[in-house]
Chain A
Amino acid sequence: MPSITFVHPDGRAQRIDASDGESAMQAATRHDVGGILAECGGNAMCATCHVYVDEGWLARLPAMGDDEDALLDGAAAERRANSRLSCQIKLAADLDGLVLNLPDRQL
């Protein structure tokens, strides 16, 4: 069972337990992590579960699809090189300890 940490814009870190196979967005929603809206429910259609992946983890994540890539261009907060949609980050044991930084806004 991977454990992941969301870091809020004010620096507050929120560590949550995720289940194997669920997405980082689903784990955040289940634990009511503010800052992850996920309006479309995980269908890669809304860009409101945007995160900045902490250094060192980016290369270990599943590759980005075209949908996600296009959506990130329209995300409310600035797109950076380490931007991802958390609904597209499927969690497994090898991502235990993953750190995701939250943008200042999703809308």
Chain B
Amino acid sequence: MSATSRIDAATPERSAPAGVPRLDVDPFSTEFFEDPHRIHDVLREAGPAVWLEKWGVYGVARYAEVHAVLNDPLTFCSSRGVGLSDFAKEKPWRPQSIILEADPPAHTRTRAVLAQVLSPTAMKQVREHFTAMAAAKVDELLARGRFDAVADLAEAYPLSVFPDAMGLKQEGRENLLPYASLVFNAFGPPNQLRQEAIERSAPHQAYVAAQCQRENLAPGGFGACIHARADAGDITAEEAPLLVRSLLSAGLDTTVNGIGAAMYCLARFPDQLARLRSDPTLARNAFEEAIRFESPVQTFFRTTTREVELAGHRIGEGEKVLMFLGAANRDPRRWENPDRYDITRRTSGHVGFGSGIHMCVGQLLARLEGEVMLAAIARKVASIEISGPVKRRYNNTLRGLESLPITISPA
């Protein structure tokens, strides 16, 4: 692999400027994955900006600072990578993304293409089919009664709609989730999760690279729509496959963990399921609140392009800043009763999809999938009970479960 460790002997010892609270927590450790909330609280209370000694980076965990960093993309850039690896110093593990890992003005052009492919108008066209597929999935699961809400629902439903909507071939789809898992592990530090994911990545990378090519994408799908924008001259023919790759990287595992988060919430908080059943129009907000509450995408980095003042501290150029989206989404400075899952909450402003110019370009697709699935559950399911051991899945960026055995009963 190309990435070198930041903690190897060649790396000089780096330390925080005076006054910045220093913490030795590792946000990419099993301990953290098992219970991020306690450590999020420590991070938030330590100060508006902290120094994480383990990886030699700044961290922000309060809502105000996370929001500010997200919304100042010229100072806190993405083109040097949104993981720990600094592309100015290390070669990216895969060809750099031309949207996620780009700054204006280059980003503006590619972003416009994906925003149009995934626009409200485009969502209207797939909505009916996505709704019918969600209803069919819930019917199928009601017939089974007991199942794993991760594999059989949170993964199975997006897998039943997203690859078709993209226009992917049937063969090889089993590579999609491992590829996404790899991408999100690779934003993390050179720990075991990242190293192993990259070591095993070759077949998944080869699959994705091939599916990004025009001849492998069915007409009418999101993939073909991206290539059509190359004909229109909005992007080059070389850029189109890279934008398809962005959707294949970020369009599936994210919704899997979003829907998984919503299921885990409804299973744990039966009063909220009852509320949802009494008013199925709350489905969309119930999904949104699950995104705030669990923050399936936990973290992203930015890199400073100049010396900057952040929360009263001078930060030099070329520093990595880690944004704790999950901590911001439960910051008591911003949210009333932040640790309560409340499907009637006004969720607008949460940073579970990010904020600013890089805010999730597929957010409408994610909301559509989440809404129609929860609406089907609201109409058809009377109860959800956890009926086996809940197991967490470990990933450097994504928060979700490996297994959630549940039993449901029909309404």
* A interface with B by C-beta (< 8 Å): 29, 32, 37-43, 45-47, 66-67, 70-71, 73-76, 107
Given A67-B115, A107-B284, A43–B355 Cβ distance below 8 Å?
yes
Additional A-B contacts beyond A41-B348, A41-B349, A41-B355 (12; CB < 8 A): A29-B348, A38-B348, A45-B359, A46-B120, A46-B363, A46-B364, A47-B120, A66-B112, A71-B119, A74-B120, A74-B122, A74-B123
Min CB gap A69→B, angstroms: 12
The 10 closest A-B pairs by CB, nearest first: A74-B120, A74-B121, A38-B348, A41-B349, A47-B120, A43-B359, A74-B119, A29-B348, A41-B348, A73-B121
Min CB gap B71→A, angstroms: 9
B120–A75 touching, CB < 8 Å = yes
A selection of 19 A-B contacts at a CB cut-off of 8 Å is A29-B348, A38-B348, A41-B349, A41-B350, A41-B359, A43-B355, A43-B357, A43-B359, A45-B359, A45-B363, A47-B120, A67-B112, A73-B119, A74-B119, A74-B120, A74-B122, A74-B124, A75-B120, A107-B284
B54 at the interface (CB under 8 A from A): no
Given A45-B359, A46-B363, A39–B348 Cβ distance below 8 Å?
yes
Residue in chain A with minimal CB distance to B367 = A39
Min CB gap B34→A, angstroms: 30
Write out the residue numbers on chain B whose beta carbons fall within 8 Å of the beta carbon of A39. Answer: 288, 348, 363, 367
Write out the residue numbers on chain A whose beta carbons fall within 8 Å of the beta carbon of B355. Answer: 41, 43
B120–A71 touching, CB < 8 Å = yes
B147 at the interface (CB under 8 A from A): no
In angstroms, Cα B284 to Cα A37, docked, is 11
In angstroms, Cα B116 to Cα A67, docked, is 9
In angstroms, Cα B348 to Cα A74, docked, is 20
B346 at the interface (CB under 8 A from A): yes
Write out the residue numbers on chain B whose beta carbons fall within 8 Å of the beta carbon of A76. Answer: 120
Min CB gap B400→A, angstroms: 22
CB within 8 Å of A: which B312-368 residues? 346, 348-351, 353, 355-357, 359, 361, 363-364, 367
Write out the residue numbers on chain A whose beta carbons fall within 8 Å of the beta carbon of B122. Answer: 74
Min CB gap B67→A, angstroms: 9
Min CB gap A25→B, angstroms: 8
Write out the residue numbers on chain A whose beta carbons fall within 8 Å of the beta carbon of B123. Answer: 74
* Most chain A beta-carbon neighbours within 10 Å: one of B123, B288, B349: B349
Write out the residue numbers on chain B whose beta carbons fall within 8 Å of the beta carbon of A45. Answer: 115, 359, 361, 363-364
Residue in chain A with minimal CB distance to B118 = A45
B121–A29 touching, CB < 8 Å = no
Write out the residue numbers on chain B whose beta carbons fall within 8 Å of the beta carbon of A42. Answer: 349
Write out the residue numbers on chain B whose beta carbons fall within 8 Å of the beta carbon of A75. Answer: 120
A40–B120 touching, CB < 8 Å = no
In angstroms, Cα B118 to Cα A40, docked, is 14
Give 1 or 0 for each of B382-402: 1 = CB within 8 Å of chain A CB. 000000000000000000000
Min CB gap B162→A, angstroms: 19
B367–A29 touching, CB < 8 Å = no
Write out the residue numbers on chain A whose beta carbons fall within 8 Å of the beta carbon of B356. Answer: 43
Write out the residue numbers on chain A whose beta carbons fall within 8 Å of the beta carbon of B346. Answer: 29, 32
In angstroms, Cα B364 to Cα A99, docked, is 29
Contact partner, B348, options A37, A67, A71, A107, Cβ 8 Å: A37
